[in-house]
Amino acid sequence: MKARAFLYAGARSLVVSHWAVADDATANLMSALFKIADENPQLTHGQAMQRAMVQMIENAQDEEEAHPYFWAPFIVVGEGLAKQ
């Protein structure tokens, strides 16, 4: 697992994907993730990711855009405690 090297190097958490992803959808999801995390510092990274995924589904223009292919491959790994 290549992600492990980042954790050994001191990263608190990582967002990784299980399969190849769509560029535009990934950019939208990551933008939403970081905005939500910045606006809600009490959330864990996993909670912020969950909210970003839900937001992506709710903002979809059609069923295809809401398909899990665009948001489901991502997980947060290595997360410790919530930010204080």
Cβ atoms 25, 80 nearer than 8 A: no
pLDDT number for residue 12: 86
Q: Above pLDDT 70, what percent of the chain?
A: 93
pLDDT, average across residues 41-67:
95
Q: How confident is the model at residue 80 (pLDDT cuts 50, 70, 90)?
A: low
How many other C-beta atoms lie within 10 A of the C-beta of residue 47? 16
pTM given for the model? 0.84
pLDDT, tens digit (0-9, with 9 covering 90-100), for 22-47: 999 999 999 999 999 999 999 999 99
Cα(first)–Cα(last) distance of the chain, in Å? 29
pLDDT number for residue 3: 79
Dist. CA 58–CA 81, nearest whole Å: 28
